[in-house]
A and B are shown apart, each in its own frame.
Chain A
């Protein structure tokens, strides 16, 4: 069940479980009756250091994989300055809001259609697991033909908060993105099945 903005506001003001509250800070502007809550663009951006990386190889050994610092360049943008997203640019941004979900809430984040119609899209719908705490990383891409100027504080995406049907989850989010205020790429590791499928088949008779 999706929580209405009114319910979210009620929960932010009077958490049903004070030990495990829903928190969104700074508090967003809520539109009564709406199914989602608008989130704002934060002050950190991350771009790829293309010249340093020949390719992203998820099958490379951990020690051979580029570090976050080698892969990304961070840009701090104060509230009164802007960041230009050029056509075809892919940039990581972050929400201004720090979000904490209790064990019985999950959420997903999508772009706003008004931005999408100008070419700015949030590349993936980010799922947020119960127990998450931190700012959300946003994959921003300008698929249009005209550069777009963005500035921290703009409403950039929307979050839909869901109530878990089976109540509180014991398996809270333990991802490495917990407690972060800057966008992060993280690492991708192929799981055991993907690794087994990728193994070279031996030629018959060898």
Chain B
């Protein structure tokens, strides 16, 4: 189930700092945050760094990288569980 609090938090990472999630999050929340930002017409409107034409490519990269960060933590956790 989608967690609105986590979705908002992920959106703030994407919007405010243009970074993927620093901690692991469920895929459903990452995906929902991605769509929420996609629908935001003002996404990075005032950013000097991000050109309007590259906005959605950057957003897609943030979503996919967040999933990778989650996989990274998941794999470490699983290997720890196996060893422990």
Contacts and interface: CB of A to CB of B under 8 A. Distances in A.
B57 to A, nearest CB: 8
A172 B20 CA distance: 19
Contacts, number: 61
A173 interface: yes
Contact of B50 (A98, A179, A181): A179
Contacts of A173: 49
Which bucket holds chain A's interface residue count? Answer: 20 to 34
Interface in A121-136: 131, 133-135
B17 A133 contact: yes
Contacts of B49: 131, 133, 172-174, 178
Interface residues of B, number: 23
Interface of B: 16-22, 48-50, 54, 57-58, 61-62, 64-65, 68-69, 71-73, 75
21 contacts: A23-B22, A25-B20, A79-B71, A79-B72, A79-B75, A98-B65, A98-B69, A100-B18, A100-B19, A133-B18, A133-B49, A135-B65, A153-B72, A172-B49, A176-B54, A178-B49, A178-B58, A179-B58, A180-B58, A180-B61, A181-B65
